[in-house]
Structure 1
């Protein structure tokens, strides 16, 4: 009866409030019989409300208290005592800083395996843009963890998972014991490619409304599109730049609709109603919404991030453009001026994502857990 202990990135109540109860997200193929969450909060959501996250496993939520610098020694002991009681085979964290530190340290002390996953490059994404945009609230912590936490976590975890190739350099920076690429899960399900050439442009982007996501470039691109395309753009996401972007849309009377949030179960409807996915994201790599859109056969128009000139599996399978409004406007105009071009990129998007589908990535993650547990038994 394998057991997993997870250090989630936030209390599970946040995922529940946003409707982000993704099936088996923390328990691929229901590999584990029990999943225990060590949550850094005084209280959290009732387990039955989020049990979908763990598939067929029994779910246990253990609020261990908030992380505070002066109480870290006490909290470390509390988490270690909990782990000794639960006796998990594997401990899992989803960042290389504080959750990762608790995960790796606790696993080493109780003789279990640890897995830390990376969902961004802390050097070329977080620290780079914190410096660039003068985020002096985030910088002290990012500079501290760079020297004091991240080397320990990534150098001592039994496995480091990174979710797209852009992160590989950072994932291997501290000579991990094992580093493995497992893409974010975007499920194809029973969907098939259905050729259709739309008569008007209905673009979509999903992501936090922050400077790094660069939605304003998409808005200004749609401002430049010819009236003949009857273009509309839907932006889903909230954040510090929402009001500024929304004001620009209103002042210029642009055909852009902005929605702060959509429950995860409802996002598929918006992909189905759209006919092109656009991203001007400055972060490297490929965000989950891009992959989800591809499962709906949406062609992708993606701006090259400043520090990522590769873009992984999108190369040759999406329209990759200079990350500025004129680049997007030109690409959209070309895409919708040719039925052959549109269908080629739509088909390529679906076929590409089918090769790395959520189903395949879920199986790959389950195999990783199985190999770690098997390795532990032979030691």
Structure 2
């Protein structure tokens, strides 16, 4: 009986509500007979969509909430003892489950708990990291002129992250821009493992002809760092172009108002929730994948677009460039109405240009990001750990 304990900080109800469910996501290769998901919060998610995410394995759900009061009480000498005390109940949950290994997603209270379980019970753990926490901090604050409370919170999470990572059997960043963060933390057991995507529903775009109005698509959260306002303004000047925006976030009301002011409500469609399987199936129906992001990443939705063979237009981010995007697989532009408009027009005017960009992206993505490739790599890592336990 092979048991996997997955410890996550996420509220899985949110993932289910957004339709961001993927077959066997928490049990790649359906390697495990039982999967126990432990959330470091008090969420009570529906079981059915999560069962889909562990395949045929028997699924168990547990909660062990974090204690954010400890952040405000941070003290260089006392915090280590307080965190160890907090972790004791989580260690007992793991003792009862007796997993073969632990998988974490992200570097938060969940991975700190895994490190304490490892020290107490000897159970190996691995963690994937999905953002560069120095560039796009989750709990910490960037910049100068921080308040004492912000500085205290930074110090707490710097400590928690270091403790979380240092005992990991392997740390698996999901793209190369995360590597500088791990180097700063002094973590050497590292291997880049790209996100495992939906191989069952991702299909290749084979026809680059445009029939009727051109169809552009954006996929992603809607907030300041991923603001498609300039793309909307560029599309507004193109009467035969329709733009579908898939995703939700705090910026949506502002974007909807912009669409209303520009008078293009019939050509810009918002779809806040699209289940991942449906999204993957519909990608090849579009002509261009057009996004804006200042994140230091190659995100899941972008990978899905590349794996579908969509020609991609996106901004060259401010600051250090993303290594994976410097090989010509996407059309990089400045985040201006003029540059987006020029790139979109050039690609829409030429089937050959669209096909060259899209097919080149597809070939490159299949080599490195194809679901079969990424799943095989992760399953191999899991098997190597299981063979030693």
1:349 and 2:361 are equivalent in the alignment = yes
Judging changes above 3 Å, is the alpha-carbon distance between structure 1 residues 84 and 118 closer, same or farther for their aligned structure 2 residues? same
Matched, 1:203 2:213: no
SS in 1 for 2:191: strand
Matched, 1:253 2:263: yes
Task: Report if the CA contact (8 A) 1:3-1:90 is conserved.
Answer: yes
Match among 208, 214, 231 for residue 227 of structure 2:
214
Are residues 175 and 65 of structure 1, via their aligned partners in 2, closer, same or farther at CA, if it must alter by over 3 Å?
closer
Moved more, 70-79 or 133-142: 133-142
Q: Matched residues in 2 for 1:361 and 1:74: separation?
A: 37
Q: Distance in 1 between matches of 2:283 and 2:373?
A: 22
Q: Is the CA contact (8 Å cut-off) linking 2:247 and 2:271 kept in structure 1?
A: yes
1:163 Cα deviation from its structure 2 partner: 0.7
Partner residue, 1:64: 64
Post-superposition CA distance 1:356-376 (Å, at most 9, x none) = 2012111111111122233x4
Give the direction of change, closer, same or farther, for the CA distance of 1:134–1:352 in structure 2 (3 Å limit). farther
**How far, CA to CA, are the matches of 2:49 and 2:134 in structure 1?**
36
Find the partner of 1:330 among 332, 342, 356. Answer: 342
After superposition, what is the alpha-carbon deviation per residue over 1:101-148, rounded to whole angstroms, capped at 9, x for unaligned?
A: 112222221101111211111111227995479998995576234532
Paired residue for 1:282, among 272, 294, 306?
294
Alpha-carbon deviations, 1:297-344, whole Å to 9, x = none?
Answer: 211112111133244056211111123322211111111122211110
Query: What is the distance in 1 between the residues matched to 2:58 and 2:283?
Result: 33
Show the 5 A alignment for 1:35-74. 35-42=35-42, 44-65=44-65, 67-69=67-69
Is residue 21–residue 275 contact of structure 2 (8 Å, CA) maintained in 1? no
Residue-pair matches, total: 373
Of 370, 378, 381, the match for 1:368: 381
Displacement of 1:212: 0.9
Q: CA deviation at 1:40?
A: 2.8
- Give me the TM-score of the superposition, normalised by structure 2: 0.87
Distance 1:76 1:201 in 2: 54
Determine if the alignment matches structure 1 residue 179 to structure 2 residue 190.
yes
Aligned-CA RMSD value: 2.8
Q: Which moved more, 1:42-51 or 1:5-14?
A: 42-51
Query: What is the correspondence of 1:118-129 to structure 2 with a 5 Å cutoff?
Result: 118-126=129-137
Q: Which runs of structure 2 are paired with 1:45-194 in the superposition (5 Å)?
A: 45-65=45-65, 67-69=67-69, 75-126=86-137, 131=142, 143-189=154-200, 191-194=203-206
Measured in 2, the distance between the counterparts of 1:262 and 1:191 equals 17
Mapped partners of 1:324, 1:139: distance in 2 = 33
The 10-residue stretch of structure 1 (327-336 or 142-151) with the greater mean CA deviation from structure 2: 142-151
Contact 1:124 1:307 (8 Å CA) reproduced: no
Shift of 1:289: 1.0
In structure 1, the residue corresponding to 2:32 is in which secondary structure? coil
- 3-state SS of paired residue (1:277): strand
CA pair 123-259 structure 1, distance change in 2 beyond 3 A:
same
Structure 2: 5+ residue stretches without partners: 71-81
Retained in 2: the 8 A contact 1:30–1:54? yes
Tell me: CA distance 1:212–1:30, structure 2 relative to 1, closer, same or farther (3 Å).
Answer: same
Contact 1:313 1:352 in 2 (8 A): no
2:248 aligned residue (219, 228, 238)? 238
In the other structure, the counterpart of 2:6 is 6
Change in 2 beyond 3 A, CA 1:130/1:248: farther
Distance in structure 1 (CA, Å) of the matches to 2:219 and 2:148: 26
Deviation string for 1:36-91 (max 9, x for gaps)?
11123445235444211112222111123454435966641111001111111211
Q: Which runs of 5+ in 1 are unaligned?
A: none
Q: Show the 5 A alignment for 1:275-314.
A: 275-313=287-325
Q: Is the 2:132–2:177 Cα contact (8 Å) retained in structure 1?
A: yes
Structure 2 distance, partners of 1:89, 1:141, is: 36
What SS is found at the alignment partner of 1:271? helix
